Amino acid sequence: MSAIIWALVAGILVGFFSLLPNKILANLNHFSLAALILLLYSMGAKLGSDRMLMAQLGQIGIESLGLAVSAIVGSTALVYCYAKVRRRSGRSPQLTKEAKK
């Protein structure tokens, strides 16, 4: 776990101090997408090869669906409440001078 945190901190410092050439910076989105696709593929292969997990997939799927729906509903409700409070306090982005122009 500490290797992940150190890698993230190192990446932040490299970006903050502009230590990468512009050619690499221009392609970071492509590199990140490729790394994400490789990560998802390898995770899928590992999960697919776990026979016990595959046997319990129906039960796990129902529980996962319930957890995901709960997270979505909770997040949406909190964002709605936060936006409502911001509008009432007059700090809504729509009320700034730039937005009125």
| Pair of tokens at residue 84 | 């409502």
Q: Is 92 exposed, middle or buried (0-12, 13-18, 19+ CB in 10 A)?
A: middle
Structural domain boundaries enclosing 83? 58-101
Q: Yes or no: say if 86 and 92 are a contact pair by the CB < 8 Å rule.
A: yes
How many domains, the chain? 2
Q: Is there a single domain that holds both residue 25 and residue 73?
A: no
Confidence of residue 35 (pLDDT cuts 50, 70, 90): very high
Per-residue model confidence as pLDDT tens digits over 75-94: 999 999 999 998 888 776 65
| Residue spans of alpha helices (H) in 17-96 | 22-26, 28-48, 51-55, 57-89
Q: Is there a single domain that holds both residue 73 and residue 94?
A: yes
Q: Is there a single domain that holds both residue 63 and residue 29?
A: no
Per-residue model confidence as pLDDT tens digits over 13-24: 999 999 999 998
Q: How much is the pLDDT for 89?
A: 82
Q: Is there a single domain that holds both residue 30 and residue 15?
A: yes
Encode burial over 27-36: b for 16+ CB neighbours within 10 A, e otherwise. Answer: eeeeeeeeee
What lies within 8 Å, CB to CB, of 20 at 6+ separation is 14, 28
